[in-house]
Amino acid sequence: MQVSTHEIKERLYSDFPNIYRAFGGFVGSGKLWDLCLQAIEDEVLMSHIIFCNDIHQIPPVQTFLKVMEAEISWELTEMEKRSLGAFWGFVFKFVFMYGRQKSVTARVNTVQTATYFFGPPGPIEVIK
């Protein structure tokens, strides 16, 4: 399945607040949201996030935080951690259509556990 960066962003703005109502306020909320969108817009980074998730069972939140480590210099709050989980969960479950998920240990920043996803409908490719 090919998914464009534009389509992912459109779905985030239109569907994310409805599916993850508790995190609707995350949309457009500031630097962390902007960094998430920056990741979505980078098809090479997205291919790495998908590869790490699919092959190494490394949660997207963990990969994202490692890549953005220099940009995210503060300790994440509980709400920020949960918002990141909802953001990447939405992308993998509702855009890429992965059918299953598993929570694992993922120690990065203040995150202790995160979710990786499996059971996609086929290979996922993010394009411009």
In which band, very low, low, confident or very high, does the pLDDT at 100 lie, cut at 50, 70 and 90?
Answer: very high
Calpha distance 3→109 (Å, rounded):
29
121 within 8 A of 92, measured Cβ to Cβ: no
Note the pLDDT of residue 33: 98
- Please write the tens of the pLDDT for every residue from 44-62: 999 999 999 999 999 999 9
Residue 91 is given by DSSP the state I
Q: What is the mean pLDDT of residues 77-96?
A: 98
89 within 8 A of 23, measured Cβ to Cβ: no
User: What are the C-alpha distances in Å from 2 to residues 59, 97, 118, 122, 124?
Assistant: 21, 12, 17, 10, 6
- Please write the tens of the pLDDT for every residue from 16-45: 999 999 999 999 999 999 999 999 999 999
pTM above 0.85, yes or no: yes
